[in-house]
Chain A
């Protein structure tokens, strides 16, 4: 990709976004749309500025739970995938339950988890729920990656007397890295979604993250504040995704085809 098309790739979505915002602002003014139906972008900006400190506090709450859930998902997903790779029996016994956890909607189990953990420890309940959502892509991708190690290389390791631990550390885990990093991109977004959905499940007055801000603003018909919180949520999601995409690129850029192509 040459520099001109690179600039175009960055500018085009930006220009479209500005055009939409301008059209939105003009339409709200021209049709006199009430603020409680659709606030103008300028009103949303004002809400964001005036409510900035408390919105940031909520953002931090949501971000903290999201990151903790994500890290827990990575640690537990990789650990379980490694266990699966070492024992087919363990995989056969546990994998169906991992799938059950994955396919059960977090909204459906949120009330149960919140009751079990207790409203006084609501952040722990949110953490568990977000972890449940983020865990599976890490487990399934890493399991696939650990199994995808080159069989000839496994034979070569065995020929030279490698132990299972050496095969795992020096062959299976590096082979699984592209799969794990891809799973992390999915899990990062899911951890945020899981946190927000869990906050909704917890309801107003207990959790104090961005979802709570949205519920509260909705109840008061402060639609501009609602949009401001939504904007921050979207920004957070995009930031998490790009941070993980950058990590993937940095780790794989020397050797994996998916990242190497970006060098050219």
Chain B
């Protein structure tokens, strides 16, 4: 187990509870999706795991020590004044990795997300999908064990989104990553995840756990199968039940 959240809660300054209590275990190597409606506290949970937010109740435990973490935001969150390579290199620069090594690793990370040849470009000339690829390369360049992703593809068109979903699965398998993926898309979570936790509307609590019957080496063909449709139907039903529970 990589991380454990025990009775984790987070309240706003006005006392309104945004999240929890949440009990959650993150297992090494899994692709875990947190699925729920907007405002249910999914992103809050992710930020608590990243230790960017302090829970107002409960505790976060790292049984095997805190792993190296990568984070991908909903927006690409790039530095517009820096070229693509310098954006990707950022985590390495902050850790004091020598420039030549950092450049080589940044170029390699860019190649892995299909952006060879774009390292000297400024972010403004890239499409939305390409910017998100830069953001993923930046998260991977520091070789994280745990990758946290906060609705990274929500703003993309369907074609870019499907392509990035497949690339993400490839990177997950190649690097043996553990991924916690926040989304409000039933189809995306069904396609990507080994485990899905549906959350209730605010305050977000776990309503159900689903393990989609996805093949290990799934690709876009699997999206067209009746098994995928059935898995998505189950996830959708669970989400509907989660909403009904809250109501």
Contact = CB atoms under 8 A, between A and B. Distances in A.
B90 A159 contact: no
A155 B51 CA distance: 10
A166 B94 contact: yes
Contacts of B75: 152
Interface residues of A, number: 21
A145 B77 CA distance: 17
A260 interface: yes
A90 interface: no
B94 A162 contact: yes
For A160, A170, A255, the residue with the greatest tally of chain B CB atoms inside 10 Å of its CB is A160
A177 B81 contact: yes
A259 B77 CA distance: 20
A91 B219 CA distance: 55
A51 interface: no
A150 B73 CA distance: 12
Interface in B67-85: 69, 71, 73, 75, 77, 79-82
Contacts, number: 50
A156 B81 CA distance: 16
Given A152-B75, A159-B71, A254-B122, A174 B81 contact: yes
Interface of A: 150, 152-153, 155-162, 166, 170-171, 174, 177, 254-257, 260
Contact of A160 (B47, B90, B124): B90
Q: Which of B52, B80, B95, B122 has the most CB of A within 10 A?
A: B80
Given A160-B95, A161-B94, A260-B124, A255 B80 contact: yes
Contact of A156 (B71, B82, B95): B71
A145 to B, nearest CB: 12
Contacts of B50: 155, 159
* Count class of interface residues, chain B: 20 to 34
Contact of B77 (A156, A160, A161, A177): A156
A157 B94 contact: yes
Contacts of B80: 255-256
Nearest to B142: A160
Interface of B: 47, 50-52, 69, 71, 73, 75, 77, 79-82, 90-91, 93-95, 122-124, 142
5 contacts: A152-B77, A155-B71, A156-B71, A160-B142, A256-B80
A170 B86 CA distance: 11
A253 B124 CA distance: 11
A154 to B, nearest CB: 9
Nearest to B53: A155
Given A160-B94, A254-B81, 5 more contacts: A152-B77, A155-B71, A159-B52, A160-B95, A162-B94
A170 B89 CA distance: 12
Contacts of A257: 124
B195 to A, nearest CB: 24
Contacts of B91: 160
A152 B80 CA distance: 14
B52 A158 contact: yes
Contacts of A177: 81
Contacts of B77: 150, 152-153, 156
Contacts of A254: 81, 122
Most B C-beta atoms less than 10 A away, residue of A157, A177, A255 = A255
